[in-house]
Every structure is written in C-alpha cells, then in structure tokens.
Amino acid sequence: MRVFHMTGLVHRDIKCDNILLHCPPGSGCVHAKISDFGFAKKVDQQHEQTYFAGTLPYMSPEQFLEKALITQKVDIYSLGITFYRLITHQYLLPYKTYEDYYLYFKSPSFDKNPLEKPSEIKDDNLWDLLLKMLEFDPNKRISAAQALQHPYFTSPEAIADISSEQQKITEKCHDFADFEIYWKSNLDILIILSIK
C-alpha cells in the first residue's frame, strides 16, 4: 500500500474481497496481494470527487461528502476496516445502506463518539494503530508510511516475531530502486517495481 500510494494513486476499494492470499508451493510464505483496481485513480488535490466509488461498509467518512477531496487516506481507513473485520468478524458500524452511513457521517456529533475497543483486540498497540487508521478526520488519519512506523510493527516485541528472512525481504521492499506507472486503459493499471 505504501509503494502504491507513492505513485500518486488511490485504490478507493480496499476490502477483504480485494486482498488475495498466495502461498507458493513449498515456500512456507503467504503473500498478500491487492486486486481490483477498477476504481483506482490519480489523486487530484484540485478537484472534488465527481462520482461515488467504493464498497459499503469500507468507505471512509469523507467519501460520503458531496464535495470531498479524495486522497490515499481513504485507503488507510478502508484498510483499518479490513483489519477490524478480520479480527472481530464484524464491521465497525452496524449500517446496511448508503442512506444509513450518509446520515451517520453527516450528523454533527459523529466524530465526537470515541470508538470502543472490542473484546477481541487484546493488544494495545494494535488498538492504537487501528484508532489512527480509523480516524474520522482524514487530515488526522495516518498514512501508510506512518502506519509502518507504528510500534505495532516496530516495537522490540513485534520485531522478535519476524524471522530474519522476512526482515530481509521487507528491507528489500523498502529500498526499491524505481517504479513506473503504465495506464493500459482507463481501468487497468500496471505498476512496475524494480527491487535491488
């Protein structure tokens, strides 16, 4: 996600169904891959969103505003909802329709209600990370790069859980040499990464 965002793109439809898991035979590794780039677009700080894109209930509060500037922060919110769902087996908000979400996010007090920590989340660092990803105000919400620097990923306890092989792979990804974006059509994006 961090590398994708560095290209200036926003996915706009991060959800459980769009994260594919692949385990190459005999590798013992599981690779997570983001799919479905049909709503992806370049971030445009000059123009507001012109159409509604995303999947309920993964959409960020700003996606419900008529004149919202859509940035990579919508992906961070959606990723937070994805993590929340994987851990708790439920969505953050109990709504089912666009109207329910719209009314909730338009209410004057929606961002004043603190999120309650679910019993399934035992790790305080994980809960702190989720709160920062699920921040209603996109200007206060963390970025992908900031999330990767969070103690949930960088504390001595977290690092001790990562094998040396996994650490080497991660370091290579942090030191990628270059990337290019090729637009094959309006819907297809191909990003070429060159890893040292």
Q: What share of the chain is helix, strand, coil (3-state, %, to 5)?
A: 40, 10, 50
Sign of CA dihedral 102, 103, 104, 107: positive
Q: For residue 195, what are its two tokens?
A: 């890893």
Least confident of 42-46, 71-75, 143-147: 42-46
Going along the chain from its start, the domains and CATH numbers come out as 2-194 (1.10.510.10)
- Summarize pLDDT for 110-135 with one digit per residue, the tens: 766 678 999 999 999 999 999 999 99
Q: Which residues contact 130 (CB under 8 A, 6 or more apart)?
A: 80, 83, 84, 121
Q: Provide the pLDDT for residue 188.
A: 45
Strands 9-10 and 41-42: antiparallel
Q: What is the pLDDT confidence band of residue 170, given thresholds at 50, 70 and 90?
A: low
Q: Provide the pLDDT for residue 161.
A: 83
pLDDT greater at residue 45 or residue 70 = 70
Q: Are 149 and 158 in contact (CB under 8 A)?
A: no
- Alpha-carbon distance of 194 to 173, in angstroms, equals 9
- Alpha-carbon distance of 178 to 181, in angstroms, equals 10
